[in-house]
Structure 1
Amino acid sequence: MGNESVLSRWFPHGLAAAFLVLWTALAVNPVMRDVWWAENIPVMAAFLLLAATYRAFRFSNLAYALMACWLVLHTIGGHYTFANVPFDFITDLFGFERNHFDRLGHYSIGFYAFPIAEFLTRRNLAKPVVVHLFSLFAIMALAAGYEIIEWWYAVLAGGEAGIEFLGSQGDIWDAQTDMLCDTLGAVTALILFVFSGIKPERA
């Protein structure tokens, strides 16, 4: 095997190691520890699930890279709280009235449509049209479910923690815009999947 194959083989391990370094660094002195826990529970769950299932099903390197985007962005958001991530250069550059880092995080959630489509395709569990529709609708359902969880946590936590976790920044259409960002991320991921060349592993 050539050098490229060796690098490809160890790519997920290097990505996981780099993420763990970042996660550990950002776990120190977050802005609000209770919000940090609320934001990082899904991050830790997703990472541990991918690690536990690695031997049973190894996704493509592109799928792992796409999934890492959300892990990294959500970890950063958990440290600062999404509304307070240092993102002023983007806000000032485009003249935004709010910090849109959370929109970027939601967009990256949509990237998980790629591994969903990859799993269904490689295991030959559905035809291409169904694969794409299921992957898209799965992300849309996840997006709606997460908005409900955000609302539930904000009500239970109350006070500043609830407001920071919700991260609406006064936008009455925050939940709907977040779900749109999730959906657009999924559409982007599925377009990438079409050109990825991933095919069924068995008939």
Structure 2
Amino acid sequence: MLGQDPARPAAGQTCSLTVRQLPGPEGSLGQLTGLHPASDRRSSISNQSAVSNRRYATILLVVFALIFAALAIDPVDRFVWALENALVALGMIIFIASHRSFRFSKLSYTLIFLFFCLHEIGSHYTYSLVPYDAWFKAVFGSSFNEIFGWERNHYDRLIHFLFGVLLAYPMREIFHRIAEARGFWGYFLPVCLTMTMSLIYELIEWGAAEVFGGDLGMAYLGTQGDIWDSHKDSLLATIGAVLSMAVALIINLWLQRDFGREWATSLKVKHPEPLGEEAIRKMLDEDKSSKDKPANR
């Protein structure tokens, strides 16, 4: 009949529902309705997030490259600058090589970017000669060192402290997403890794000073006459990491609903069987039984 809605049956007719099978996994909602499942929407959001993160990381990389190039011009000591940037070059290679398999959050990328930028300032001037006190005096008219009664340049101490503050969270992200460190271990292990990396860096400094010796070795070491310099640097890095993890813990305690259960579960014994000689004996027995099976057939 002209003007009748084709989707509606005429008066007196029965209504039947025909289910049209659409392409998709067997038994899926898409077969019945043609709607995308929630997993597809989550996948789409995840892909958009990945693209956004990579774009953000690329922008930070370009900005850092410009800062690096600017501070590479006429540094105070070219050889010290080269030594200071050897680990930076290694870090950049690792980041670029792994960016497809592992992408950090924008927060972690920002923290890493800030640390590298501050490190480049120290590399340009050498850490013991960064004129932060002169900059402070030019802006505020008084000496920053005199306010605190300092007699040495503390820029190196600041960077060691910020190493813990800024890089502990990216370390937490690595432990959380690769090693599945949950609860207590998600906060404890980044502090341990910070201490370990600080120790390794101090050993590298000592090794470089021994190899190169003279003014170059002492400039790279940057102790400024303090025999406990390496100990204080490591302590400051540890304090920074503890503070960073304390902030992360407080935020998660506030926002994460199952925080208490996750924390308690992380401290439970997952594998009651001891290791050591018992584990070795068990592996030997399993190896022996696997070799005996073909002979018994």
> Alignment partner for residue 85 of structure 2, among 40, 44, 68?
40
Question: Aligned residue for 1:62?
Answer: 107
Question: Aligned residue for 2:152?
Answer: 98
In 2, the alpha carbon distance for the partners of 1:138 and 1:124 equals 13
**Greater fraction of residues in helix:** 1
> Alignment partner for residue 95 of structure 2, among 50, 73, 78?
50
Identify which range, 10-19 or 156-165, moves more after superposition.
10-19
> Alignment partner for residue 26 of structure 1, among 71, 95, 111?
71
Percent identical residues:
38
In 2, the alpha carbon distance for the partners of 1:151 and 1:188 equals 28
TM-score (norm 1): 0.87
C-alpha contact (below 8 Å) 2:160/2:237 kept by paired residues: yes
Q: Which has the higher contact order (CA 8 A, sep 6+)?
A: 1
Q: CA deviation at 1:22?
A: 0.5
Give matches, 1:132-143, under 5 Å. 132-143=187-198
Aligned pair count reads 196
> Alignment partner for residue 80 of structure 1, among 122, 125, 143?
125
Give matches, 1:42-191, under 5 Å. 42-88=87-133, 89=136, 90-110=144-164, 111-123=166-178, 125-191=180-246
Q: Which has the larger radius of gyration?
A: 2
TM-score (norm 2): 0.61
Q: Helix, strand or coil: the match of 2:238?
A: helix
C-alpha contact (below 8 Å) 2:56/2:106 kept by paired residues: yes
Q: CA deviation at 1:156?
A: 1.4
C-alpha contact (below 8 Å) 2:161/2:240 kept by paired residues: yes
Q: CA deviation at 1:124?
A: 5.8
Amino acid at match of 1:79: H
In 1, the alpha carbon distance for the partners of 2:92 and 2:79 equals 20
Q: Helix, strand or coil: the match of 1:126?
A: coil
- Aligned structure 1 segments of 4 or more residues deviating by more than 4 angstroms: 5-8, 196-199
CA shift digits 1:52-83 (9 cap, x unpaired): 22221111111111112221121111111100
CA pair 6-50 structure 1, distance change in 2 beyond 3 A = closer
Amino acid at match of 2:162: S
C-alpha contact (below 8 Å) 1:140/1:179 kept by paired residues: yes
